[in-house]
Structure 1
Amino acid sequence: MSKSLATFTLLSLLLILLGINRGFDISDEGLYALLAVPAQENIAGIFNYDLFFKFFYKISGIEFGLVGLRLLRLFLYFLAGAALTVFWGNLSGTKKFSSNHFLIATLGLFAGYGFLPQTLSYNSLTVVLACFWLAVISTQKKNMLQYFLLGFLLSCFAYVKITACLGLGLLTLLWMLNNKEIKFNRMLGLIIPFMMIELLMYLCLGDFAFSRMIEAKELMGNRSSYSLLFLAKYELVGGFWIFLAAIPFFLAGSLFHSSPKLKIAILLTGVLALSYIAYFTSITQEWNHVILLVTAALVAYYIPKFQFTTTSPNQRFLFLSLFILPFVLHFGSNVYWLRLGIHFWVFWIFAILFVFDSIQLKFRNAIHFAVGGLSFLLVLNGIWVHPFEQESLWNATEEWSYGNGNKLLLSPAQLDLLNTLKPFVQNRKELLAVYRIPGIPYLFNKTSPKTPGFWDRSQTDYFFPSDFQTDLLIYYPLDSLPSLVKDDFSVKYAQLPDGNKIQILWKR
């Protein structure tokens, strides 16, 4: 076992565990947390994995709090790391379980902590499911059980992120076509698990994903940021910058027998171009995209030496899948690819490992140190130094109680906000909070009416086309006031930790 990999894994794990009960993002993390609340409605749900939490609560009586969700994400990352290690054995032809590749996979998954909150989310779930999918799809001799497992994984994707389900479903069919595996019984193996899960949810909960998807179609049609044109744009823009950064390195790597001076000149040009692209595409204080650009450049430089003819059709399919998985899993998100792409970095890490292994490059220690060091820095920055939409985590020193005896450490500024809101929200079962602040109802043990989060005016007006019978609204002015608000509301202001203000509107 590599000492550097083991050291960075332990250090990263320590950072995660020390922050497990600290900090809270009232925007995205609030949404993830409410999705795990059994009593929370999710009409016309876009993300329907809340049904799994509702089902688990019904059979066990256990409800996940924030700490539980964060631990669940960590546990699933370790399982996904094991699945990727199995995949590596299938891809490389070495069936022996490799501790080094397990640690590399785990560290690559830990890089996902570099962007967005540390709680379990649909983004982290899609990555975990994709790792399981790779482990199963890479098995050459499949039986019906494995096709059933593929169907089960695709069903889980349908509940977590339907666009990822469609993308992985298409890849699965391409694999079956490539290997001449299209048969009626195997197609049934892919379809039956979804039907079984839907039936189970309907019988136990009276709700199921397909009915929600039908309802969500009209809702999504009214949200311009989720139009097919915009979603395709996010993918294409990310792919364009990756492709542009890779071109000079591919050219330099292709010059096997050319002048060393020409090769160096092209490499220097590539470094300058990559630096400019990294600067031009930077967003706020984030630098995660630089890692993706550098990784793409590294692959591009060595790929000309890679002999595709020496690999089997199955290896070529799996190798190409590693490259396109980040785009397949991202599609459907209205966040630019370069921001969210760090969640999928682990797949490109394994693509590099396969290239290096195939051309017999001995950069093992350098790869170990690079992956370990960068993942450690991403965890440090993403959880502690610049946690998503929060102050640095060492400022989270004040205890706040929520749920059934759950406790969380928040910053003094967050506590001041909650104490300002507290007199207005007591003795309520539901709390309407718009826009992008679902964490406020969650921290007060309230649910959000109809949906776990209101992100814009069009979404709010869809759910409340006429007057909503409420005498209280918590409003963050990222969009205009919803149509349900009339003139008979009084206003009080409460300050967010970042200095912005939210409005408390209540009827006179």
Structure 2
Amino acid sequence: MSKTLTSLTSLSLLLILLGINRGFDFSDEGLYALLAVPNQENLAGVFNYDLLFKLFYKFTGIEFGLIGLRLLRLFLYFLAAGALTFFWGNLTGTKKFSVNHFLIVALGLFAGYGFLPQTLSYNSLAVVFTCFWLAVISTQKNNVLQYLFLGFMLACLAYIKITACLGLGLLTLLRMGYSKEIKVKYLLGLIIPYIMIELLMYMAIGDFAFSRMLDAKELIGSRSSYAILSLAKYELVGGFWLALAAIPFLIAGFLRHSFSKLKYILLLIGVFALSYLTYITAITEEWNHVVLLVTVALFAYVAPRFRFTTISRNQRFLFLTLLILPFVLHFGSNVYWLRLGIHFWVFWILAILFVFDKIQLKGKKVINAGVGALSFLLVLNGIWIHPFEQEPLWNATEEWNYGNGNNILLSEKQIDLLNSIRPYAEDKNQVLAVYRIPGIPYLLDKTSPKSPGFWDRSQIAYYFPQDFQTDLLIYYSLDSLPSFVQNGFSTEYAQLPDGNEIQILWRK
């Protein structure tokens, strides 16, 4: 067992655990938290994994608070690391459990804390179930039980992120065709788990994902950022920047023997190009895109030594799957590829380790140490120094009580904001918060009407065509409001922790 990997994993885990009860993001994290509230509405839901929480609550009576959701994410990451270690054994033909590979993939998964809040989300869930999917699809048993397990993973992904379900479903069908194992019983094995879960949902809680997705067609169609062409453009832009980072290193890799001087010139050009690309591709203060660009550059340099034809058919399919999974899982998101891509970095780590293993290249210890160090820095920065849409986490020192005996440490500015709004919300069951601030009603022990979060005017127009039907509205002016809001509301003002102003509108 590598002492370096053990130390870096332990330090990263310590940073995560020390931040479990601190901080809160009013935007995305508020959405994730409301999706876990059993009585939160989610009409025409785009993300429907709230139904999984509702079903769990129906049978157990357990509701997850913020700390519970964060611990659940961490627990699922460790399960996913175990699944990827099992996958590695199937990919390489190594049956012995490797602690080093478990630690390296755990660190790769921890890198996901570098972007977005630390609470369980549809992105972290999609990564986890993809790891389970890889563990199952990499086995070569080809029996009905295997496809029932695959069908269960795809069914869960249909609730979590439908585009990921469709993408992995297509890869599953390609795998069947590639293995020449397209049989009716296997196809039924893929479909039956989804039907069973939908029936269970309908009988237990009276709602199911397919009905919601049909209702959401109009809503999604009204949001231009989710049009098919726009989603495809996000993928292509990400691929374009990655290709630019890779080209000089790929050429240098091909010329590593024939023209040694030219190789070093190209490597020097590549380093300068990579440095420039990290500058022009940055759209925020985050730097996790640098990790993705460097990873692609390294892969491009060693790729010419890798002989694709020397590996088995099974390995070819699985290796190519690792390479495209970040694009498959990102598709459907309107977030800049190089920001969100860090969640999927673990799959490229495995691909690079596989190449190093096959070409018997020295330096795996350096790769392991590099991945560990980068993951540690991503966790440190993403949770503590620059937590998503928050002050540094060490400023979160004031206790805030919410829900049924739950509490969380927040910053003084966050506490002031919540206290300024609380008197207006005391006698309300629901609070409508627009735009991108669903965390406010969550921490005030309120639900949001019709949807857990409102990000733009098109959503408001869909859910509230004529009247808000609410007595309290919290408004952050990232987009305009319908004209009918001017009638019947009184207004006060409060300040977000970042200094921006929000309006508190209540019925006269």
TM-score w.r.t. the length of structure 1 is 0.99
Instruction: Say if 2:139 is the partner of 1:139.
Output: yes
Secondary structure of 2:449's match?
Answer: coil
Which residue number corresponds to residue 329 of structure 1? 329
Which residue number corresponds to residue 436 of structure 1? 436
Q: Assess if the C-alpha contact under 8 Å between 1:247 and 1:300 holds in 2.
A: yes
Matches within 5 A, 1:85-104: 85-104=85-104
* CA spacing shift, 1:15–1:81, aligned 2, 3 Å: same
Q: 1:367 offset after TM fit, Å?
A: 1.3
Which residue number corresponds to residue 220 of structure 1? 220
Kindly report structure 1 stretches of 4+ aligned residues shifted beyond 3 Å.
none
Q: Deviations over 1:86-110 (max 9, x none)?
A: 0000001111110000000100000
Instruction: Say if 2:41 is the partner of 1:14.
Output: no
Secondary structure of 1:76's match?
Answer: helix
Q: 1:273 offset after TM fit, Å?
A: 0.9
Which residue number corresponds to residue 290 of structure 1? 290
Which residue number corresponds to residue 403 of structure 1? 403
Q: 1:229 offset after TM fit, Å?
A: 1.4
Residue 407 of structure 1 aligns with an amino acid whose one-letter code is N
Q: Assess if the C-alpha contact under 8 Å between 1:108 and 1:375 holds in 2.
A: yes
Q: 1:483 offset after TM fit, Å?
A: 4.4
Provide the C-alpha distance between the structure 2 equivalents of 1:165 and 1:493, rounded to a whole number of angstroms: 43
Q: Deviations over 1:278-310 (max 9, x none)?
A: 100012211000000000010011111001111
Residue 19 of structure 1 aligns with an amino acid whose one-letter code is G
Provide the C-alpha distance between the structure 2 equivalents of 1:59 and 1:155, rounded to a whole number of angstroms: 20
Which residue number corresponds to residue 506 of structure 2? 506
Matches within 5 A, 1:461-500: 461-500=461-500
Secondary structure of 1:246's match?
Answer: helix
Provide the C-alpha distance between the structure 1 equivalents of 2:305 and 2:373, rounded to a whole number of angstroms: 27
Residue 301 of structure 1 aligns with an amino acid whose one-letter code is Y
Q: Assess if the C-alpha contact under 8 Å between 1:330 and 1:340 holds in 2.
A: yes
Q: 1:361 offset after TM fit, Å?
A: 1.0
Structure 1, 256-265 or 406-415: larger mean CA deviation: 256-265
Structure 1, 151-160 or 468-477: larger mean CA deviation: 468-477
Provide the C-alpha distance between the structure 1 equivalents of 2:483 and 2:104, rounded to a whole number of angstroms: 51
Which residue number corresponds to residue 230 of structure 2? 230
Instruction: Say if 2:150 is the partner of 1:161.
Output: no
Provide the C-alpha distance between the structure 1 equivalents of 2:103 and 2:461, rounded to a whole number of angstroms: 48
Instruction: Say if 2:184 is the partner of 1:184.
Output: yes
Which residue number corresponds to residue 54 of structure 2? 54
Matches within 5 A, 1:365-384: 365-384=365-384
Provide the C-alpha distance between the structure 2 equivalents of 1:324 and 1:101, rounded to a whole number of angstroms: 21
Provide the C-alpha distance between the structure 2 equivalents of 1:211 and 1:100, rounded to a whole number of angstroms: 44
* CA spacing shift, 1:450–1:206, aligned 2, 3 Å: same
Which residue number corresponds to residue 245 of structure 1? 245
Provide the C-alpha distance between the structure 2 equivalents of 1:222 and 1:259, rounded to a whole number of angstroms: 55
Provide the C-alpha distance between the structure 2 equivalents of 1:142 and 1:121, rounded to a whole number of angstroms: 32
Secondary structure of 2:345's match?
Answer: helix
Q: 1:484 offset after TM fit, Å?
A: 4.3
Gap regions ≥5 residues in structure 2: none
Q: Deviations over 1:230-256 (max 9, x none)?
A: 111111100000011101111110114
Gap regions ≥5 residues in structure 1: none
Q: 1:194 offset after TM fit, Å?
A: 0.2
Q: Deviations over 1:368-398 (max 9, x none)?
A: 2101100000000000000000000000000
Provide the C-alpha distance between the structure 2 equivalents of 1:502 and 1:246, rounded to a whole number of angstroms: 44
Q: 1:469 offset after TM fit, Å?
A: 2.6
Provide the C-alpha distance between the structure 2 equivalents of 1:235 and 1:256, rounded to a whole number of angstroms: 31
Superposed CA RMSD: 0.8
Instruction: Say if 2:414 is the partner of 1:414.
Output: yes
Structure 1, 222-231 or 405-414: larger mean CA deviation: 222-231
Q: 1:313 offset after TM fit, Å?
A: 1.0
Provide the C-alpha distance between the structure 2 equivalents of 1:409 and 1:484, rounded to a whole number of angstroms: 38
Matches within 5 A, 1:116-131: 116-131=116-131
Q: Deviations over 1:451-471 (max 9, x none)?
A: 100111110110011113322
Which residue number corresponds to residue 105 of structure 1? 105
Q: Assess if the C-alpha contact under 8 Å between 1:465 and 1:483 holds in 2.
A: no
Provide the C-alpha distance between the structure 1 equivalents of 2:41 and 2:385, rounded to a whole number of angstroms: 34
Q: Deviations over 1:116-172 (max 9, x none)?
A: 000000000011011111111110123211110000000011000000111101111
Q: Deviations over 1:393-435 (max 9, x none)?
A: 0000000000000010000000010111011110111111100
Which residue number corresponds to residue 458 of structure 1? 458
Q: 1:190 offset after TM fit, Å?
A: 0.3
Q: Assess if the C-alpha contact under 8 Å between 1:461 and 1:483 holds in 2.
A: no
Residue 113 of structure 1 aligns with an amino acid whose one-letter code is Y
* CA spacing shift, 1:79–1:286, aligned 2, 3 Å: same
Q: Assess if the C-alpha contact under 8 Å between 1:322 and 1:351 holds in 2.
A: yes
Residue 475 of structure 2 aligns with an amino acid whose one-letter code is Y
Residue 247 of structure 2 aligns with an amino acid whose one-letter code is I
Secondary structure of 1:299's match?
Answer: helix
Provide the C-alpha distance between the structure 2 equivalents of 1:203 and 1:434, rounded to a whole number of angstroms: 33
Which residue number corresponds to residue 350 of structure 1? 350
Instruction: Say if 2:390 is the partner of 1:390.
Output: yes
Provide the C-alpha distance between the structure 2 equivalents of 1:173 and 1:201, rounded to a whole number of angstroms: 26
Q: Assess if the C-alpha contact under 8 Å between 1:465 and 1:484 holds in 2.
A: no
Provide the C-alpha distance between the structure 1 equivalents of 2:246 and 2:380, rounded to a whole number of angstroms: 28
Which residue number corresponds to residue 193 of structure 2? 193
Provide the C-alpha distance between the structure 2 equivalents of 1:152 and 1:283, rounded to a whole number of angstroms: 38
Secondary structure of 1:502's match?
Answer: strand
Q: Percent identity?
A: 75
Secondary structure of 1:485's match?
Answer: helix
Q: 1:21 offset after TM fit, Å?
A: 0.5
Residue 97 of structure 1 aligns with an amino acid whose one-letter code is F
Which residue number corresponds to residue 152 of structure 2? 152
Provide the C-alpha distance between the structure 2 equivalents of 1:459 and 1:62, rounded to a whole number of angstroms: 31
Structure 1, 485-494 or 202-211: larger mean CA deviation: 485-494
Residue 162 of structure 2 aligns with an amino acid whose one-letter code is I
Q: Deviations over 1:298-354 (max 9, x none)?
A: 001111100111101110110011110000000000101100000000000000000
Q: Assess if the C-alpha contact under 8 Å between 2:278 and 2:293 holds in 1.
A: yes
Provide the C-alpha distance between the structure 2 equivalents of 1:92 and 1:326, rounded to a whole number of angstroms: 21
Which residue number corresponds to residue 300 of structure 1? 300
Structure 1, 27-36 or 139-148: larger mean CA deviation: 139-148
Which residue number corresponds to residue 360 of structure 1? 360
Structure 1, 112-121 or 246-255: larger mean CA deviation: 246-255
Provide the C-alpha distance between the structure 2 equivalents of 1:472 and 1:484, rounded to a whole number of angstroms: 14
Residue 229 of structure 1 aligns with an amino acid whose one-letter code is L
Q: 1:482 offset after TM fit, Å?
A: 3.1
Provide the C-alpha distance between the structure 2 equivalents of 1:205 and 1:488, rounded to a whole number of angstroms: 36
TM-score w.r.t. the length of structure 2 is 0.99
Q: Assess if the C-alpha contact under 8 Å between 2:142 and 2:181 holds in 1.
A: no
Structure 1, 74-83 or 361-370: larger mean CA deviation: 361-370
Residue 8 of structure 1 aligns with an amino acid whose one-letter code is L
Which residue number corresponds to residue 2 of structure 1? 2
Provide the C-alpha distance between the structure 1 equivalents of 2:489 and 2:468, rounded to a whole number of angstroms: 13
